[in-house]
Amino acid sequence: MSETKKMALIASQGTLDWAYPPFILASTAAAMDMEVQIFFTFYGLTLLKKEIKAKVAPQANPSMPMKMPFGPKGFQNINWPMPNILMGNVPGFETMATSLMKKTFKNKGVATIEELRDICLEAGVKFIGCTMTMDVFGFDKDEFIDGVVVGGAATFLEFAVEADIQLFI
């Protein structure tokens, strides 16, 4: 086997759908014996909180297929058309869409964000919180899970410059 490969990720989004890619890639890369660092910045920082409250924002994703997590398979496979007026104006729509997505993911045997994050930590993935955005958003390191290191752009770049894969998510 060749020398250890490295992957550097920037996680910049805090919605449920965007929370998946960094944790899926990081946990899998670690399982493939790669050394991984994730730099959490802007809304991505919320993924470091002890309790993740990520939601999906259907209004920001007009092509999001809306699926029902219950009923016969034919019913579950229907793409429900969701007019923008409904997504934007009905109170609680985001909460409902989030709940439906979580149920569908669970039914399909997809891990939760929290599970994937735990696996990452167990596998030695290094989490870095961006100090500048922490300051801007008023986040304290104590609000984050244990094991988070804080740093700035130079901290990320020092690792990324030697990494074989660098992705901005």
Partner 1 sequence: MNNIAYDQELDCKGLNCPLPILKTKKQVDAMEIGQVLKMESTDPGSISDMNAWTKRTGHELISHIEDGGIYTFYVKKT
As a whole number of Å, the CA-based R_g of the chain is: 18
Binding to partner 1 by residue 66, rule CB under 8 A?
Answer: no
Residues 159/127, Cβ–Cβ less than 8 Å: no
Binding to partner 1 by residue 24, rule CB under 8 A?
Answer: yes
Work out which of 12, 13, 15, 27 binds partner 1, going by CB under 8 A.
27
Binding to partner 1 by residue 111, rule CB under 8 A?
Answer: yes
Residues 6+ apart with CB under 8 A from 39: 8, 9, 10, 11, 128, 130, 151, 155, 156
Binding to partner 1 by residue 169, rule CB under 8 A?
Answer: no
Report the C-alpha gap between 17 and 122 in whole angstroms: 23
Kindly state the smallest distance separating residue 110's Cβ from partner 1, in Å.
5
In this chain, which stretch among 35-43, 60-68, 109-117, 156-164 interacts with partner 1, using CB under 8 A? Answer: 109-117
Q: What is the DSSP string of 102-162?
A: HHHHHHTTPPPHHHHHHHHHHTTPEEEEEHHHHHHHT--GGGBPTT-EEE-HHHHHHHHTT
Work out which of 19, 45, 100, 119 binds partner 1, going by CB under 8 A.
119
In this chain, which stretch among 30-38, 47-55, 83-91, 146-154 interacts with partner 1, using CB under 8 A? Answer: 30-38
Q: Which is nearer to partner 1, 53 or 108 (CB)?
A: 108
The contact set with partner 1 (CB under 8 A) reads: 1, 24, 27-28, 31-33, 108-111, 116, 119
